[in-house]
Amino acid sequence: MIGYGEWVTTAPSPQLFTQDFWDDPHPVYAAMREQAPVHRLQLPTGMEMWLVTRYADARTALGDPRLSKRVGATANAAALAPQISGPLTRHLLANDPPDHTRLRRLVAKAFTARRVEQLRDRVEQLSAALVDAMRAGDRADVIDDYAVQLPIQVICELLGIPQDDQAEFRRWTGVLVAGSVDRSGVPEAAAQFLAYLRGLIATKRADPADDLLSALIASTDQGDRLDEDELTSMVFLLLIAGHETTVNLIGNGMWTLLTRPEEHRRLLRDPSLIPSAVEEFLRLESPVETATFRVAMEPVTYGGVTIPAGGVVAISLLSADRDPARFPNPAEVDLGRPDNQHLAFGHGIHYCLGAPLARLEAQIAFRDLLAAFPTMRLAVPASELIWRPGVLIHGTTTLPVQLR
Ligand code: HEM
């Protein structure tokens, strides 16, 4: 067994954090919601962590100002992030107000629903080109040939990052979000990514263009609103958040359709359901499995369990969104599900900044892929697909399909 975590309280299953768990974590989370909804884990390092699995507790915790995002703030938690240090940890998701408020205000205007809508034409062009390339063969991999490509191209264009650099930093972000078993490559990937970002910023500073990175550099240069490390961290976060997540929304949604032929046919017949189908995909197979870690700055009590000051809190969005106390028939796919207030984009002050962009990309993706390949089907048995290990990202590593 791969020992990322060990059960130290009543264990509904000894399977937590094994490949079987990654391939289908839902039964384990269902048992936890019933038997140990705020579950204490002890990692092999001795660090204690509490895993929140019910919807109501998850929503409360996500909006709880007593939980800090400055994970280095306490000794227990500092053990979590020893490998990605300094200049890459000064971003939105690692800060509390007032720093968080200031940092978020600086980028928020680039991601409003109105600004994102202006990207629609370009996203459509990029999507059409990817679909055309897929038409060349009878088989394709939805992940490699489409789902990875679209978000990465969009976020790179938005920031103003050269296309040639994409493959390389995709390798680094892959290592950094792997999030579990083998962390040995992390320091090296983080160092290389940092050096790359510093070079990129220097180039843009010398030769600004009409892109988000140049605009952020301009705000750094205007004074103390964004210092150099904050700028580097911001670009780092946007690059990771901008593509490691949306790929799994597209992949998991397509997987959901390909494993439920009736729902697949329903969406083919009625594409006006695509926006609500995307919300249902987000709820059913949350691309972000657990929200990023938080630390209790004072004792907090959820679902009758008290987490002491210094305790690390992990909130399972994947589990919360399948809580039968919140969603009727939570494991069933309802592409037109009403009242679908899922937590896949988080909640509270750290609510996903990129949600409008992710929705735009995913809606275009499903529209184009369904229209171009109405008879698409899995090219391997669903049981052969491997889901990514790690508590951060939930999605298959590949999704081979027969196109015709
Ligand atoms: C925050 C999910 C796409 C940028 C978050 C959080 C979640 C999330 C759950 C909150 C994490 C926490 O509270 O610990 C997703 C999903 C996406 C997606 C499921 C795609 C389907 C994007 C995109 C971008 C982006 C495309 C940017 C271009 C961010 C940023 C934050 C964030 C900057 C931090 C916000 C803050 O701390 O104030 N996202 N995200 N995300 N996301 Fe996304």
286 to 247, 290, 358, 392: CA distances (angstroms): 12, 9, 13, 10
The two tokens of residue 288 are 């972000």
CA of 194 to the centre of ligand 1 (A): 21
* Predicted local distance difference test score (pLDDT) of residue 259: 98
Please identify which residue in the block is written with the tokens 């059409």: 128
CA separation for the pair 48, 43 (Å, rounded): 6
Nearest residue to 250 (alpha-carbon basis) of 123, 65, 66:
123
Which pTM value belongs to this model?
0.93
Nearest residue to 400 (alpha-carbon basis) of 221, 119, 134, 152:
134
CA separation for the pair 296, 310 (Å, rounded): 5
**CB neighbours (10 Å) of residue 347?**
20
160-219, pLDDT tens digit by residue? 988 888 888 888 887 777 654 456 777 888 888 899 999 999 999 999 998 999 988 888
CA of 11 to the centre of ligand 1 (A): 31
- The residue nearest atom 11 of ligand 1, judged by CA position, is 291
CA separation for the pair 242, 235 (Å, rounded): 10
CA of 48 to the centre of ligand 1 (A): 25
* Predicted local distance difference test score (pLDDT) of residue 55: 98
DSSP string over 161-174: --GGGHHHHHHHHH
CA separation for the pair 184, 30 (Å, rounded): 32
Contact 146, 123 (CB under 8 A): no
Contact 107, 238 (CB under 8 A): yes
DSSP 80: T
* Predicted local distance difference test score (pLDDT) of residue 6: 35
Name residues contacting ligand 1 (CB within 6 A): 62, 92-93, 104, 155, 237-238, 241-242, 245-246, 249, 287-288, 291-292, 317, 344-346, 350, 352-354, 357-358
pLDDT at 345 over 60: yes
The two tokens of residue 65 are 């100002």
If phi > 0 it is left, if psi is from -120 to 50 it is alpha, else beta; for residue 215 that is alpha
Rg (CA), the chain: 21
- The residue nearest atom 10 of ligand 1, judged by CA position, is 346
State the distance between the two ends of the chain, measured CA to CA, in whole angstroms: 40
211-226, pLDDT tens digit by residue? 999 988 888 766 557 8
Angle at 157 (CA atoms; ends 168, 356), nearest 5 degrees:
110
Residue 287: pLDDT band with limits 50, 70, 90:
very high
Q: For residues 239 and 403, which has the higher predicted lDDT (pLDDT)?
A: 403
Please identify which residue in the block is written with the tokens 């995909």: 281
Please identify which residue in the block is written with the tokens 């990875």: 148
* Predicted local distance difference test score (pLDDT) of residue 10: 36
CA separation for the pair 181, 190 (Å, rounded): 17
Domains and CATH numbers, the chain: 6-402 (1.10.630.10)
106-133, pLDDT tens digit by residue? 899 888 888 899 999 999 999 999 999 9
Percentage of the chain surpassing pLDDT 90? 65
CA separation for the pair 348, 37 (Å, rounded): 21
State whether ipTM is beyond 0.95.
yes
Residues 6+ apart with CB under 8 A from 54: 33, 37, 303, 319, 320, 323, 325
* Predicted local distance difference test score (pLDDT) of residue 336: 97
Angle at 289 (CA atoms; ends 101, 295), nearest 5 degrees:
50
50-80, pLDDT tens digit by residue? 999 999 999 999 999 999 998 766 666 555 5
